[in-house]
Structure 1
Amino acid sequence: MSKLPDGPADLWRVYDEHYDEIFDVVLQAAANHPEFGPVVHSAKAEAVQEERRTRRDELREVFQGDRTRHEARLHQEGITYAAAGVTLQGWYDLAAAFTEPLVPLIVRTYQHDASRLSAALIALHEHLGWVLSTLGEGYLEGMEGLRKGERMFRGLLESAPDAIVITDRAGRIRIVNAQTERLFGYTRDELIGEFVELLIPERFRTGHVVHRGAYTDEPRARAMGSGLELHGRRKDGSEFPLEISLSPLRTDEDGLLVSSAIRDISERKTAERAKNEAARRIEELADALKRRATELEVVNRELESFSYSVSHDLRTPLRALDGFSQILLAKYADRPLDEKGRDYLQRIRRASQRMGRLIDDLLTLSRLSRVEMKRRPLDLGKLATTIANELAEESPERQVVFTIAPKLRAVVDPQLIEVALRNLIGNAWKFTSKRPEAHIEVGVCEVDGEQAYFVRDDGAGFDMAYAGQLFGAFQRLHSSSEFDGTGVGLATVQRVIVRHGGRVWAQAAPDRGATFYFTLPGPVPADDPPPPERS
């Protein structure tokens, strides 16, 4: 009985003899194949030669009957190529490229021995079946893993708390989750394939295209628009604040994709506004308390001055009233008044008038702390001009040059600020009364970065060593015989300015005039205000 031919051995004999020729044909077919081409072209020459040697050794072992080790490798290759997107058709194409040169060589080698030819072709068929079957099992396992991975990815995508939008390099939307539909009001079908700028307010779209291009040039995981206020646009046209985190996704099939995690921060912004409003309110209350504390400090000093006034300033005219009344009773009880007696009565009248003025000034000072403030824009220059004209009309014999800056705008209580200006300008008028030609200036300047208004004169002035006594009630640096007054005017000025949240101070020198400065914190109105209301 004749020995049967060894098909695998005969197949290997032909394959081994023409290995390089067959390998080059398969390599060229792979290089021209759309699925294998990118891998072949990216491989280095050394790697290709190593593959040539390795495959030859592997095939020798396979044809000699040792398939166990190579079966595991083929199975893993099937899994790997499934993940890489290579199809089974691709492997069929390579198998065809493998058999195309090999079959003619087998036929030519064994054309005179039908049994060996048949055995070699059967071995080739069985070998290709084993290779494709093993690859196919791995491929199917890999595809199942991909499907599980995709299901897991979809599950994670849909369960994400944020809206997820995945776009391609051109900015077209490829994938969205359910949160995106809820947040923007579009269905998934309405979004897929549209440019992502659909979800952005129209005024930002042109700029976003530029920024999107810059990101795809240098993709990295980062927050979008750090430090900027970002807004989204819903299907109904409404807008809302949001924050976005960007992450690049590199894929073999689609190239670069960009994943955007979008979060609606409307509630956070509302909370921030409430927090800021609360902080602003607390700051306002703190400022109000600070002003109130300053006012109380001023009031306490005025109370101390008032105590002194009761014991001294008010008692002085009372003593005059009492003394001259006793003289009149003693000397003129039984005879008519003569010139001397009438002089006593005039002194009594002047003392009562002085007491009346003191009481009036005290009442004015008291009312300033209680009256409700109603602020509005006011031109202090126009008010100062009105006061100056009134003073000039009352004393036409005086030679006083007024210089008043235009548009001295401020937001103030008109009635209170008029009281302060009348006292300041009235003092300047009074203390320049001994000058044959006096100068009074009303203006504004900057002091230590703060806007300060001022009233300046070239009158009697005072020694700055006593400046600390200026703003106390009934504090006078000049005698009443020199300049008339009750000593309440500057205390009134301070009360008004402090109630406006400002401060008042003075600079002077004896016989060289004085300048009184005051600040009025708050916005400066841009437009000309209406004329002040007169009470």
Structure 2
Amino acid sequence: MAARRWGLNTRIAASLLALGLAMLAVLAVYRSRLDRIEAVEAARAVGLRKAQKLAETLVSPLYELSMPSVESALRGEFDDPAVVQIAVFEDPGKPPLAVFRREGDAVERASELRSHPTDVRFDYSVTRQTPGSSGEVLGVVSVWTCPEQALAAMAERTRRRLLEEAAVVLILVASTFLLLRRLVVLPMGRVTRTLGQTAESVHAEEDLDAVAKGLEESLGSMRAGSVEFARWLEGLQALVAALVRRQSELERILQCVLGTISVTDVRTQRLQYVNEEWHEKLGMCAEDGRLLDDWIERFVHPDDRETVAGAFRRVLEQRARVGPFITRQLLEDGSVRWWRWIAAPLDFDEEGRVVLVVKHALDITDLRRLQEELERANTVLEETVEERTRELVAANRELESFAYSVSHDLRAPLRSINGFGKILIEDHAEKLNEDGLDCVRRMVAAAEKLGELVDAMLHLSRITRAEVRRQPVDLSALAAELIGELWEGSPERQVAVEVAPGLTVRADPVLTRALLQNLLSNAWKYTRRRPDARIEVGPCAVEGRPGFFVRDNGVGFDSSQLEKALKPFQRLHSDNEFEGLGVGLATVQRIVARHGGRLEVDAAPGQGAEFRVTLESGPRA
């Protein structure tokens, strides 16, 4: 019985081994055919690439008829073992100018052409581009490549793959044998033993119930084994179905990705995968088997072809992502579109060389058109700004001319009025009655007030036109100096002054002095009726920018009248209450504006006023 079971195991093992060997044979044949196809494609790609490169390299040597340079260029292209022969013709119908052929490991010059029927030949015209013409053909370069050389270079890789596949097949055979032995042979052995026991039991007229029980146990074991095998098979089917679903999901994801996607096999130089958008826009699919160079020649703008080819070379050399770079694409419908590309390695061989390259491109034509429109709008805006600047310069010149007229033409009459009025008061007072003297005094005061207004107007004009020269200014020291000057003019005043130390600002020092002088002068003037007068200068923030404040507890004013107070020659108090010309706050506002800063005011009648100033320009914090 044991011999029969051993014989069954042997037959199963032999059958599985024969099946495995048959599978290995089929795989070997299939692999051989694939390698040959791959070798042919690789040889074609090498030949095309070498021919194109030589067609560019030989332009100058052929034009100058420099044969040493031609021979040097031809020898340099035998670095790939697939290249077996290279020739240069001045005319394809005439003998070649130079022929070089691989002889074993050496490259030698030959006197005649010689090729094998399996060799692949590529011809490429050497053309010199000239202005105003399609180019002058200087000759033809021919490259022969041998697929057998590429196949020999692939032999070691093929051997490793066959060994790996043989190991996988042997593992599958062994696993299947063990599974069949467990699920079929062993249960059948138990059945056989039970049947033998049954025969012996019947022959010995023993209890048939024990025999039936043994048979039942054996059949149960077989059923359990069948169930376990079914579960294993079901799990395998579920795994395959999950892989298929995953593949389908990835395919749908790729089809939904915005832009075109393609995968190129470096070994064959052919497109291996393209997504739906690529197919729609370029009319190409992976099944076409197009060479990468064919795609570049047909769909890439001539001025951008080297950009694409160079990016592809950098991916292979750097083995890393390249881009983004922008090219013009010639689509299937004849339109020209701008594409933004990135390219990256997708897979590597055992030696770390890139074998698959993925390329992704987005159509940025509409964005580029918007960019061009924006550039045109910027150009128009710059021209408008230049025109407005010229107009502003002209207006400033007119303002300077007006200021000159005011300064010289008005001052002379004012001086005359003031001078003659004082002469009347000093030398002819006895000839005038009291009303006459009062009129003359009023006339002199009005002339002096008009002179002050003219000076204030000129000062305001200079501030508006002054160039801002920023540099660090010590506000604390400047405020202390100005307060000291105010005290010199009114030593009897009792004013509590608090100036925070370390206040600095980067601004024009002359304009900053004028600004702070006006704010402190106003605070000094409008607190003179307060016995507890107080003036403060300290740091603050104005709309997130660093600044300073000037605060007093004087008479204050209604905040609703702030707009009026900031206008030149507009006053909120009469001359009987407080003297002044109404240009102080207008000057402050213009100095702040010249710096690109900001002025904020809080005030109330009888509660004083606070002016917050920042002279810092730029974005807000």
Name the structure with the higher strand share.
2
Higher relative contact order (CA 8 A, sep 6+): 1
TM-score w.r.t. the length of structure 2 is 0.40
TM-score w.r.t. the length of structure 1 is 0.45
